[in-house]
Structure 1
Amino acid sequence: MLNMGGPSTVPETHDFLKNLFSDGDLIPLPFQSVLAPWIARRRTPQIEKQYTDIGGGSPILKYTRIQGERMAALLDELHPETAPHKAYVAFRYARPLTEETAKELKRDGVKRAVAFTQYPQYSCSTTGSSLNELYRKGKTGELGEIEWSVIDRWGTHPGFVEAMAQVVERALEKFPEETRHETVVLFSAHSLPMSVVNRGDPYVSEVAASVSAVMDRLKHSNPYRLVWQSQVGPSAWMGMQTGDAIKGLARLGHKKAVLVPIAFTSDHIETLYELDLEYVKEGQHLGMDIQRAEALNDSPVFIRALADLASTHLRDYASGRIGPTSVQMGLRCPGCTNATCGAQKSWFARGGR
């Protein structure tokens, strides 16, 4: 289960930030090896305070493990041919890092594995970065002899769409029924630098597809917009930013909104601090009533969707209906200049060989 991760305790914050800013796939920086540690040191006190404010660390590892354990149990029933199943967590910037998980896989003697991204929508800067790291470990033999396949995106899977629609409905129920239809639904996703978007990264279109599918399920009951959060640094990022959208809605006379973390499947700092403690409160100061749709976390509907994704993948792969990777994963961004990306795609297409 591949994800960005987050520091489980406040003292882990610096290492998390250093790993994050050192990753050119996520945040391309000039002189990255010099700038990344400097930025991490400067930002650590501020981010440590944010993690303290949300309870002393990120809960993303807790929820990823819950999701993985329950998914594996369901998978034993849905696809007994490959049982027993075990979920491993490989975070990109926080423990357990990919290198730690690689050692665990090798120690357990794993021979068949699925690299299952926990980002519903694909981006070279998130799923791509995790797969690049997994590829690097595989090429050096740190993973042992494993046959790999990949679940690389699933932002319109019916189970995911249903789980998202249900949390939106629960948030809308907090408003009076007679005026509920006036509530604006703001789908908020982590933004990307425009340099990544402009090279042809599919993330923006895939997030939009998720939003469209959820609103179809909700029968377009409310006005909605897709907005973007978590911009870092002075360079241009995908917009409009969530905070600016809230200010704009207030200026235009809107009084109610629901914030929906459409690209996040577990609570972490972007939901618990940025959405809850910044944007919701900012809306309140502007006279708006803003509710945040809960993250999927331990949602049984969502966990069943993960199990369905995995069982369908295993069944189709075993029958030869699909290869180790999807057709879409094999297409590099038209503006890609990252040699590792191309090598990684070829490696996984050969089953990790």
Structure 2
Amino acid sequence: MTDAVLLLGFGGPEGIDEVVPFLERVTVGRGIPPERLVEVGQHYFTLGGVSPLNAQNRALRTALAEALDAAGSPIEVALANRNSPPFVPDVLAELAAAGRREILAVATAAYSGYSSCRQYREDLGTALASADLGLSVRKLGPFYDLPEFAGTIAALLLESLPDDISLDDPGTRLVFTTHSVPTSAARASGPSGDAYVNQHRWVAEQVVRHLAEAIDVTKPWELVFQSRSGPPTMPWLEPDVNDALRAYAAEGATAVVLVPIGFLSDHMEVIWDLDTQARDTAAELGIRLVRTPAVGTDPRFVAALARRIAAELAAPSPEPGAGDFCSGGCCANPRRELPTVPGTGLRR
């Protein structure tokens, strides 16, 4: 019987002194010199060295625990991070010391992919392999397919759209954004490959369907990418959001509505890459830019995720079977093979 849920986050610094150590953990093994990390960390320094992500994930943990209780599945919900305290191995040890034995992990990422899914399974598997904790851990599969996920995104879009911007205006572009990844990782994502892009496109289509039902407007849309890193010689998913904005301006667009469907919360990559860099690009081009909120702790989304978790908690077998997510070769590690925990979930 599952006796705890473990919410998994990427982590982030909580002060100036934590920025470079955090970035060192994120980029471990890539040979990036310290001076480059200081340069990369400038956007954290501008916010006092504090990433908004940790507080957002703490709020999500609280909201999720309350929603599970309301759904009739009261259970402890803990929080652990990949790259900042509280670290995954430490939280697993605390859960074991408290007498927990079976853990369901839930990543704060909705889609298939190495960094968004499998790497969290590796974090858990590596921690368990290095300590005899007596824990059984499995990870909930991607939950992009929750109807309320796209529904909440659409509702937040309509709620945040200024009165003087109309989706019916041909000069207004509807643009969905997500984190770019190497094209090789995108091809390897999911049980059959290409899941990362396909899942985002499916969510975008569902959002547009909700918009059509709400305001009787069927709007063309595009999926663009942001926040790429790595060497320029490595192919990553394109177009970049800033390049896309330049193309829209050349085509005569007057406004762009950016919808960050790839993220659960308005964290640094939203605040910096969209609210700062993309907004500056749009201003230079004379385009009005509206960025809609991520789902965050919106009760509509949280209640739906809690129901998905409750269904998994009530499942007769904790092990994934045929047709479930996370086959052995799913979203393979591009560098080396590491221990993983099982992944499970309900397919759309």
Secondary structure of 2:39's counterpart equals: helix
Distance 1:114 1:336 in 2: 22
Structure 1 residues 301 and 231: alpha-carbon distance in aligned structure 2, compared to 1, 3 A threshold: same
Are 1:114 and 2:104 an aligned pair?
A: yes
Q: What is the TM-score when the length of structure 1 is the normalising length?
A: 0.84
Match of residue 150 from structure 1: 139
CA deviation after TM superposition for structure 1 residue 253, in Å: 0.4
Match of residue 298 from structure 1: 297
Structure 1 residues 309 and 333: alpha-carbon distance in aligned structure 2, compared to 1, 3 A threshold: closer
Of stretches 212-221 and 282-291 in structure 1, the one that deviates more from structure 2 is 212-221
Match of residue 11 from structure 2: 5
* 2:63 equivalent among 65, 70, 75: 70
Match of residue 281 from structure 1: 280
Offset from partner CA, 1:164-222 (integer Å, 9 cap, x none): 11122123344345955642111110000123224445212222222122122222632
Match of residue 4 from structure 2: none
Match of residue 203 from structure 2: 210
8 Å Cα contact 2:185-2:331 kept in structure 1: no
Indicate the structure with greater helix content.
1
Offset from partner CA, 1:258-306 (integer Å, 9 cap, x none): 1111111112111111100110121011010001101222312222122
CA RMSD of aligned residues (A): 2.5
Match of residue 192 from structure 1: 181
Offset from partner CA, 1:2-43 (integer Å, 9 cap, x none): 232222223211122111112xxxxxxxxx36x14x2xx133
Within-5 A mapping of 1:328-343: 328-333=325-330, 340=337, 343=339
CA deviation after TM superposition for structure 1 residue 336, in Å: 6.5
Amino acid at match of 1:206: Q
Amino acid at match of 1:127: C
8 Å Cα contact 1:74-1:307 kept in structure 2: yes
Match of residue 97 from structure 1: 87
8 Å Cα contact 2:118-2:331 kept in structure 1: no
Within-5 A mapping of 1:20-99: 20-22=26-28, 32=29, 35-36=31-32, 38=33, 41-54=34-47, 56-80=49-73, 83=74, 85-99=75-89
CA deviation after TM superposition for structure 1 residue 245, in Å: 0.3
* 2:227 equivalent among 227, 230, 233: 230
Distance 1:313 1:99 in 2: 23
Are 1:323 and 2:319 an aligned pair?
A: yes
CA deviation after TM superposition for structure 1 residue 119, in Å: 0.6
Structure 1 residues 244 and 339: alpha-carbon distance in aligned structure 2, compared to 1, 3 A threshold: closer
8 Å Cα contact 2:165-2:172 kept in structure 1: no
CA deviation after TM superposition for structure 1 residue 138, in Å: 1.3
Identity of aligned residues (%): 24
* 1:124 equivalent among 114, 126, 151: 114
Distance 1:338 1:68 in 2: 32
Amino acid at match of 1:8: E
CA deviation after TM superposition for structure 1 residue 79, in Å: 3.1
Structure 1 residues 332 and 43: alpha-carbon distance in aligned structure 2, compared to 1, 3 A threshold: same
Match of residue 28 from structure 1: none
Of stretches 186-195 and 303-312 in structure 1, the one that deviates more from structure 2 is 303-312
Amino acid at match of 2:340: Q
Offset from partner CA, 1:91-138 (integer Å, 9 cap, x none): 212222212222322232212211112111011123211110100111
Match of residue 14 from structure 1: 20
Secondary structure of 1:344's counterpart equals: coil
Name stretches of at least 5 consecutive residues in structure 1 with no aligned partner.
Answer: 23-31
Structure 1 residues 285 and 298: alpha-carbon distance in aligned structure 2, compared to 1, 3 A threshold: same
Structure 1 residues 68 and 252: alpha-carbon distance in aligned structure 2, compared to 1, 3 A threshold: same
Name stretches of at least 5 consecutive residues in structure 2 with no aligned partner.
Answer: 1-6
Distance 1:231 1:337 in 2: 17
8 Å Cα contact 1:58-1:268 kept in structure 2: yes
Distance 1:114 1:182 in 2: 46
Structure 1 residues 176 and 202: alpha-carbon distance in aligned structure 2, compared to 1, 3 A threshold: closer
Offset from partner CA, 1:140-183 (integer Å, 9 cap, x none): 235x2223332120112012111111122123344345955642
Q: What is the TM-score when the length of structure 2 is the normalising length?
A: 0.85
Match of residue 29 from structure 1: none
Are 1:162 and 2:161 an aligned pair?
A: no
Structure 1 residues 334 and 9: alpha-carbon distance in aligned structure 2, compared to 1, 3 A threshold: closer
Secondary structure of 2:276's counterpart equals: helix
